[in-house]
Amino acid sequence: MIGYQGDGDLAAIGSSEILHAANRGESVTMIFINNAVYSMTGGQSAPTTLIGQKSATTPEGRSAANEGYPLHVCELLATLEAPVYIERVGLGDTKQIVQATRSIKRAVENQVRGLGFSLIEVLSPCPTIFKMTPVQAQHWVRDVMEKVFPLGVYRDRTKEPRPEQLQVAAPTLDRIPQILGVDDESLPEGNPIEAEKATKLDLRVRVAGFGGQGVLLLGEVLAEAGLDAGLEVSWLPSYGPEMRSGTSNCHVRLTRQVIDSPMVANPNLMVAMNEPSLRKFVKNVPAGGWILYNGDEFPADCEQAGVHVLARPFTQIANDWAMRARATW
């Protein structure tokens, strides 16, 4: 995978994601374009804006006391153990452009070889936002930006022996009941869709839990699976301001008909990853629907007439399966 991100995307909105991807040593190539502003949305101040630099949101110039100091991404990520290659290059002249090309090629080669995480930060001009000619903007990158963001290699462990990355193959679908500890014979009978009614398929799913449990990701996976199956799909996330550990849920619809609304008020399948989410939405599941509950036992006072339930400690099962896979790898 090759990622192409600007300084606002990577260093602001996506700062948490890039930090943890690098810390895990994901075998990806990240190309980070640093032009010191949000150049594609009007020239607002970015985490990389220089002290004193004027922007749409810092008309008097960036102040360390007010906006803080510029964020040095290469230096920050180089403090982590997992990344194998981190370099900052510039586009200030022809020689630098040639070097930038070589560095990006090397980063991609690292990924092909499966060495781990590589990031190339590219100091790039933006004549339109800088209000300069292309040549002036290029010189500004070379003569001004480089004093704040020095070029160079900040991490190179490509020649060091690295711990082999654990590659655990996903279980096949026919193994899922076994992993969950459910025999085929004991699976509750649902309401199978008759062949002649297949065109009326309308699966309404509500996934709920707290941030960090993969609630939104599960909804995305379901939606992607629906697309692969040729269905009409929608995915609508909903989460609190403090996403991790805060409330999180999503609406998913999979149907053969045109979707009128992405909202799922009465899901015929609910996945409840914790008890508060179960109690919040359980009464919305109509008779004939299903509830998959992440717990050892389904709370007796949450049972609804005609609603099928399956309670399993999914989180613990996933952890145990991963540990067994590592032990046999």
Q: pLDDT digit string (tens) for 84-98?
A: 999 999 999 999 999
Q: What is the DSSP letter of 257?
A: S
3-state percent helix, strand, coil for the chain, nearest multiple of 5: 35, 25, 40
Res 199 pLDDT > 80: no
- The answer to whether 28 and 117 have CB atoms below 8 angstroms apart is yes
Segment 30-49, tens digit of pLDDT: 999 999 998 887 889 999 99
Q: Any idea which residue has 């749409």 for tokens?
A: 56
Task: Compute the distance between CA of residue 234 and CA of residue 307 in angstroms, rounded to an integer.
Answer: 24
- The answer to whether 83 and 155 have CB atoms below 8 angstroms apart is yes
In 3-state terms, what secondary structure has residue 297? coil
Instruction: Give the CA distances from residue 158 to residues 41, 114, 115, 137, 154, in Å, rounded to whole numbers and listed in that order.
Output: 37, 10, 7, 34, 12
Check residue 193 and give its pLDDT: 42
In 3-state terms, what secondary structure has residue 209? strand
Task: Compute the distance between CA of residue 135 and CA of residue 98 in angstroms, rounded to an integer.
Answer: 17
H or E stretch at 163:
none
Poorest-pLDDT segment among 18-22, 41-45, 259-263: 41-45
Task: Compute the distance between CA of residue 72 and CA of residue 9 in angstroms, rounded to an integer.
Answer: 14
pTM given for the model:
0.59
Segment 109-156, tens digit of pLDDT: 999 988 999 999 999 999 999 999 999 999 999 999 999 999 999 999
Q: Where are the beta strands (DSSP E) in 25-148?
A: 29-34, 37-38, 44-45, 85-90, 118-123
Segment 154-184, tens digit of pLDDT: 999 998 866 555 556 667 767 777 777 766 5
In 3-state terms, what secondary structure has residue 195? helix
Task: Compute the distance between CA of residue 308 and CA of residue 195 in angstroms, rounded to an integer.
Answer: 22
Calculate ∠ Cα 303-305-310, nearest 5°: 50
Q: Where are the beta strands (DSSP E) in 165-278?
A: 202-210, 232-239, 247-255, 269-272
In 3-state terms, what secondary structure has residue 251? strand
Segment 46-56, tens digit of pLDDT: 999 999 999 98
Check residue 324 and give its pLDDT: 77
Q: Where are the beta strands (DSSP E) in the chain?
A: 2-6, 29-34, 37-38, 44-45, 85-90, 118-123, 152-156, 202-210, 232-239, 247-255, 269-272, 290-294, 308-312
Q: Where are the beta strands (DSSP E) in 181-275?
A: 202-210, 232-239, 247-255, 269-272
Check residue 13 and give its pLDDT: 83
Helices (H) and strands (E) in the chain, counts: 12, 13
Check residue 21 and give its pLDDT: 93
N residues, the chain: 329
